[in-house]
Structure 1
């Protein structure tokens, strides 16, 4: 269904600093590129937050009926330490430290990246290109930039001439930086003597004799610059200009700024219509940092094997927690926040489980169509997942009102409510029915039902001591019994 024809999305465009109505280049089609990981270590939880934001965006666009080509790359070469043009390749350094081949490092951490995202129920991108798989495209792009007069060759390396580019274009328009300010704040560093100016950046780096990852080029053996890779891969699969480019806030400068410059220098046009940036993830009110020990990785959060959280958290609770904040806001990861999200998630699951038991009426006292449009309005407003979740809990209130008889819904409205809740909860937000609600939950429910029957028999026999014992011991392991006029139900805390 082409729902997008009836829904107007507004996206906060980082390059203009305001929300704009989304109009794709080709009606019904969306091209979206998101900068993927450099696979030299386990994926950082802050990166997971960024990728999760764009996973939800991808899901919503698909739900609206757009044909989305989502490209998310793998950087497996050319990303130097501290995002600089000098120093050692991050992957090569890891390989040297562990005394293995660079591509063993790439394979290990690419597999880890995929496993983490699969566990957290991410949809795979349409295309996942690698930097090493697109060396030819990068060499061709460099040749165009040189031909157009915006790059120069020195000792086997090729550098982008930022000053020459800025004469006829605007370098810094995404990050709102002026070249003269960058010049004023830049100090000459050792190892940058090949450059005309410190602001210039590498398109191709000459490989020193000890450098393992190297490819032949018209300028000698070397490897591509980190910024160049994304320009080559995004334009190859999405065209010279495409709809959405996403990434973390930390990539806005210099990475995305350099992408714009490269595209304009090579192809004469701006590459992207809508730039989107996800904000940082903090841990307990402070920036995550390995040096200070204020860090936690996805495996530790999922397993509970860490000293920062009181327990393990399920993939759906982690997703639910992250969706309770706008992708453009700084998000503080805390144990209290996750515990609250777990309770909220369980409350939502419990309410959805009640829907099949609701009794239909001939009339509805609740306007489900109006509620449904509010869900769309939330997502249409720059993918506002916190407001969407608030609307989902409005539906929880509806369900409880119908259950206790203070509100009514027709059969059709109950079906619409159920389908819509499933769509936004599972298809758009990407939540899963965790073990207590799914396969493992079936066995748990069966076991608890046996205990509920034993408790009912004890109460019928006026053995209240046994009845209370069953209730209290279940409560100790987090299973709460609730006695009502329709019988006894349970929930898992």
Structure 2
């Protein structure tokens, strides 16, 4: 860890800061997970891959990460506001199911898609409904601080009174006076002292499906409250990193900061990280625009905007080719380019694992080659240390891959690097691809055995000068994305790029 000076762009300070954990080598990281009322889509994929990579890299540096990602299964109302129907309850009514059936169904499909994207499971994955007592206790603590008030069985956070002690809006840069002047007194919000106040606990109407007893009557928790309750329970009153999409910065994360300061007298997280948004062919994704694409639709190609299916690893690779704080536009051209890049990386992985160091006293170490390799390795790590810049890291990884491919084709000899640098090159490439970037080879069951058999048939046909059969096998493999490589010393295969 001492060799790396990791810098993280902190949304709170709007600057890159040197990462200094509160209690090294332990790192606490909380990331807002999905509201489980529908299938996972592209908007879920980006934060999942982003913070999985953060988790992977921190672990690679030697930190002991406790990664907490919640499941929202109550309290998230339509429009992300304090009025309207619960998103899960609404889905339950439409499908004539219990709300928990809906939550379980889409939690399961979310897990399925996250596994396909090769994201590591969080250490703890708490659900909002499993932490109602903790949320009630938080509401009471904020009331005791004089920063909330109860009206008709609902409890609201008093933003104006809080702002007398702390700055509301410091994360998002919102100015409270402008928020107040720009907010109309909407229907159903008349019981609030001020429209900018937000619900900590909502009184439940008789027809409301998801409700619990509380000191203020039967109701349910506000959306923002659950993350404060669960993060503080599992990571403490202040932890290292809070992550999520940029769309959560306001009001969700802003309200979390207010709640944390109100009851714990400190910001909940030291570093706030936000991934940027995605677009589809230059447009914001939305059901009304007809460009809403689920992950399963991407994986199967079953959507009118898709020209083909794109594998989970292609999607993961594509997400990693942009810095997490930049926008990312999904288009067929961009995804096809990502598919090609991913296959190059994985072909390199196969080759790297197959190479062995062969000493040759007639070959001298090449100082220039060694220097180029050392620089590529240094720059790859330097990119990751610079706010997890996977895009730049991948560029340097391709420079390492050029050396690996040249060794494979015989243009370079392992002895030109010496055993120490040769081993370092192979190890760095494999670790970056598999452990840090989380990419893996996608292959079907028995693929290796089948390819070995076909290559033997190809070799036998070539030896027998049966060129019709040679062409038939080559064409058949090409149809399934496999290229036969005729080399001086052997016949091999690679994924078509």
Task: Tell me which residue corresponds to 2:442.
Answer: 434
Q: CA deviation at 1:95?
A: 1.0
Task: Tell me which residue corresponds to 1:451.
Answer: 457
Q: Number of aligned residue pairs: give it.
A: 485
Aligned match of 2:395 in 372, 386, 390? 390
Deviations 1:292-322, CA, capped at 9 Å, x for gaps: 2112111111122222222222222111111
Task: Tell me which residue corresponds to 1:128.
Answer: 125
Provide the C-alpha distance between the structure 1 equivalents of 2:473 and 2:65, rounded to a whole number of angstroms: 53
Q: Is contact 2:28–2:235 with CA below 8 Å preserved after alignment?
A: yes
Aligned match of 1:318 in 315, 318, 321? 315
Provide the C-alpha distance between the structure 1 equivalents of 2:148 and 2:478, rounded to a whole number of angstroms: 69
Provide the C-alpha distance between the structure 2 equivalents of 1:217 and 1:93, rounded to a whole number of angstroms: 23
Q: Is contact 2:348–2:401 with CA below 8 Å preserved after alignment?
A: yes
Long gaps (5+) in structure 2: none
Provide the C-alpha distance between the structure 1 equivalents of 2:76 and 2:168, rounded to a whole number of angstroms: 22
Task: Tell me which residue corresponds to 1:333.
Answer: 330
Q: CA deviation at 1:340?
A: 1.3
Q: Is contact 2:347–2:495 with CA below 8 Å preserved after alignment?
A: no
Would the alpha carbon gap of residues 77 and 449 (structure 1) be closer, same or farther in structure 2, given more than 3 Å must change?
Answer: same
Q: Is contact 2:83–2:188 with CA below 8 Å preserved after alignment?
A: yes
TM-score by length of 2: 0.94
Matched, 1:423 2:434: no
Q: Is contact 1:31–1:243 with CA below 8 Å preserved after alignment?
A: yes
Long gaps (5+) in structure 1: none
Q: Is contact 2:349–2:433 with CA below 8 Å preserved after alignment?
A: no
Q: CA deviation at 1:477?
A: 4.3
Instruction: Trace 1:101-116 onto structure 2 (pairs within 5 A).
Output: 101-116=98-113
Task: Tell me which residue corresponds to 1:72.
Answer: 69
TM-score by length of 1: 0.94
SS in 1 for 2:164: helix
Matched, 1:224 2:230: no
Aligned match of 1:360 in 358, 361, 385? 358
Aligned match of 1:250 in 233, 247, 263? 247
Matched, 1:412 2:431: no
Instruction: Trace 1:26-37 onto structure 2 (pairs within 5 A).
Output: 26-37=23-34
The farther-off stretch of 372-381 and 406-415 is: 406-415
Q: Is contact 1:246–1:277 with CA below 8 Å preserved after alignment?
A: yes
Provide the C-alpha distance between the structure 2 equivalents of 1:189 and 1:133, rounded to a whole number of angstroms: 32
Q: Is contact 1:42–1:112 with CA below 8 Å preserved after alignment?
A: yes
Would the alpha carbon gap of residues 465 and 223 (structure 1) be closer, same or farther in structure 2, given more than 3 Å must change?
Answer: closer
Task: Tell me which residue corresponds to 1:481.
Answer: 484
Provide the C-alpha distance between the structure 2 equivalents of 1:209 and 1:393, rounded to a whole number of angstroms: 61
Q: Is contact 2:142–2:263 with CA below 8 Å preserved after alignment?
A: yes
Task: Tell me which residue corresponds to 2:378.
Answer: 373
Would the alpha carbon gap of residues 466 and 458 (structure 1) be closer, same or farther in structure 2, given more than 3 Å must change?
Answer: farther
The farther-off stretch of 408-417 and 73-82 is: 408-417
Q: CA deviation at 1:469?
A: 4.6
Provide the C-alpha distance between the structure 2 equivalents of 1:476 and 1:126, rounded to a whole number of angstroms: 42
SS in 1 for 2:289: coil
Q: Is contact 1:360–1:410 with CA below 8 Å preserved after alignment?
A: no
Provide the C-alpha distance between the structure 1 equivalents of 2:268 and 2:469, rounded to a whole number of angstroms: 71
Q: Is contact 1:358–1:402 with CA below 8 Å preserved after alignment?
A: no
Provide the C-alpha distance between the structure 1 equivalents of 2:245 and 2:6, rounded to a whole number of angstroms: 21
Aligned match of 1:297 in 275, 279, 294? 294
SS in 1 for 2:440: coil
Matched, 1:159 2:185: no
Q: Is contact 2:377–2:400 with CA below 8 Å preserved after alignment?
A: no
